[in-house]
Structure 1
C-alpha cells in the first residue's frame, strides 16, 4: 500500500509541477511577446516566401524588414515574385512602381554537346561542375563551356534546369523565377540572364581566339565579326573574341546575321526553346 501511495504522490507532484511550469510559460509568452510590425507582416505575405536570397538578404523576412524600416528603398529586388509581388509591395508602402520592366530569365550560352566539342580526358569525380572545374578547368577542351554536371540544378529552387542527356543543361524559361542562383554557382560563367522576350542568342561563351575555338568546338563563336561589320545597326558587338547581343538595340539586319554566321552559333531564341527535347541523365 505504501508503495502505491508513493507512486501516486510522485505522479501527482509531477503533473502539478508540469502544469505550473506550463502556466508560467503561457503567462511569460504573453508578457514578453514581441508584437510584429503589421507592415513587415504584410510585406512578408506579399513576397513568395522562397528565401532564395536573390534580393541580397538572408530571406524574405529580412528584406521585408529592410523595406518596412525604409533602410532599402528598392522595392524591385524580389525577382521571383514578379510584377505581382512588386505591385503588392508598392501598394503597402504607398509608392508608385514600374510594372513594365522586362522579366529576365537564365540561359545557358553553350551548344557544345558531347558530339560537338572535344575532351582532354574522362572525368570520374563528384557530379558537380565546381569540383570538376578544379581539375584543369574540366574535361572539355573548351574551358568556357557548360560542364553539364548540374551544380546549377542543385541550387535552383524552382526545378527549372534539366540535363539534356548530351553533356549540357538547359533552363526551362517558363519555370525560371529569375533568382540568379544558377548564374552565381556556374564556375565557367556560361549561364547569364537574358530578357524573356529575347529574339536571338549567341549560344557561346568562349573567349578563345577563333582558331583555338574552332579546334575545340564546331559550334563555338570564332569572333569573325561578320555579324558586327556586315550589320552594324543590328546590335552585335564582338568583345574578347565573342559576339555579344545588345538587347536594347534591335536594329535592322539582326535576323540576317543568323544566316551569315559561319558556325551558326547565333540562333533564334524561340526556336531554341521549342526544338530542344530533354533526356534526363
Structure 2
C-alpha cells in the first residue's frame, strides 16, 4: 500500500510540475520578431550612426517597433528604403543621397595665419587656442580630425592643402560634420550642382582681412542674377540645392572671388 501511495504522489507531483512548466513556457516565451530578423538581414552593417541610432541593429529594432521610419539610412539609399518599407508593409519614400562638403578654400596662399599652432593635431583642441593659427574663425583648421573619423577614407588634402571630400566614397553618415568645431563641413545633396565654397558670414571688409578667397557679401549673384538660386545669409551667399536655376552659371562667372563653384559628378 505504501508503495502504491508513493507512486501516486510521485505521479501527481510530476503532473503538477509538467503543468507548471507548460504554463511558464507560455508566459515567459519570447515571441519571435520576424520583421526584426528580416530587417537585420538587409542592413548594410556600416554602423555609422547617420540614422540617429547607435548602429544598424538599433535602427532595425526601432523600425520593427514602429518607432522609426524606413529610409533614414543614407548608405543604404533608395534600395534599402524600399526593402525595409516592403517588410513593414509601408509605401517606400525616396531617399535623397547626401554627401559631405567642406565649405572653405582658405589654403595658405589666400588665408591669413595669425600664429603658429604647435598643440595637438586635433581641430577641436586647436579651436580652443585662438582658433589654431587661422585668422578666419569660420574656416577649416586643416588638422584632419574629420579624416580620422571617416570610415570610408573619403576625406583627404588636395594639392593646395585644402581638405576635400571624395563624394563617390562618402556615405553621408555625418561623423565629419559632428567633429568639425567651426561647422565648416556640411551635408549637401549628392546631386547638387553648385556651392558657395565659403563659411564666413562677416562683412566683406572683415573677410578681406583674413582671406582672399572668401565671400565678401557683394550680393552680385543675387541682385544682378535674381534667378541664380542664390540668397544672402547675413553677408554670405548660399545656393539653393533643390532645383536648377537658369542664371547660376552666369552668377558664378560674375563672382569677384570665384567662390560659386560647380560640382563635378
TM-score (norm 1): 0.80
Task: Give yes or no for contact 1:147–1:167 (8 Å, CA) kept in 2.
Answer: no
- Deviation at 1:166? 3.7
Aligned to 2:71: 76
Task: Give yes or no for contact 1:46–1:85 (8 Å, CA) kept in 2.
Answer: yes
Aligned to 1:126: 120
Task: Give yes or no for contact 1:234–1:249 (8 Å, CA) kept in 2.
Answer: no
Matches within 5 A, 1:224-263: 224-263=218-257
| CA deviation string 1:119-176 (max 9, x = no partner) | 0111111111111111112211011111111111111122211123544211100001
- Deviation at 1:252? 2.2
Q: CA RMSD in A?
A: 1.8
| CA deviation string 1:75-113 (max 9, x = no partner) | 1111111122112111111211123x4311110011101
Report whether the alignment pairs 1:155 with 2:149.
yes
Task: Give yes or no for contact 1:121–1:139 (8 Å, CA) kept in 2.
Answer: yes
Q: Which of these two proteins has the greater Rg computed from alpha carbons?
A: 2
Alpha-carbon distance between aligned partners in 1 of 2:156 and 2:29, rounded to the nearest angstrom: 46
Task: Give yes or no for contact 2:194–2:263 (8 Å, CA) kept in 1.
Answer: yes
Aligned to 1:110: 104
Judging changes above 3 Å, is the alpha-carbon distance between structure 1 residues 33 and 192 closer, same or farther for their aligned structure 2 residues?
same
Aligned to 1:90: 85
Task: Give yes or no for contact 2:77–2:96 (8 Å, CA) kept in 1.
Answer: no
- Worse-matched range after superposition: 188-197 or 162-171: 162-171
- Deviation at 1:251? 2.3
* SS of 2:50 mapped into structure 1: coil
- Deviation at 1:249? 4.4
Aligned to 1:172: 166
| CA deviation string 1:187-240 (max 9, x = no partner) | 111111112121111011111210111121111000000000001121100112
* SS of 1:63 mapped into structure 2: helix
5+ unaligned residues in a row in structure 1: which ranges?
1-30, 274-281
- Deviation at 1:33? 9.3
Q: How many residues align?
A: 239
Report whether the alignment pairs 1:38 with 2:42.
no
Task: Give yes or no for contact 1:147–1:168 (8 Å, CA) kept in 2.
Answer: no
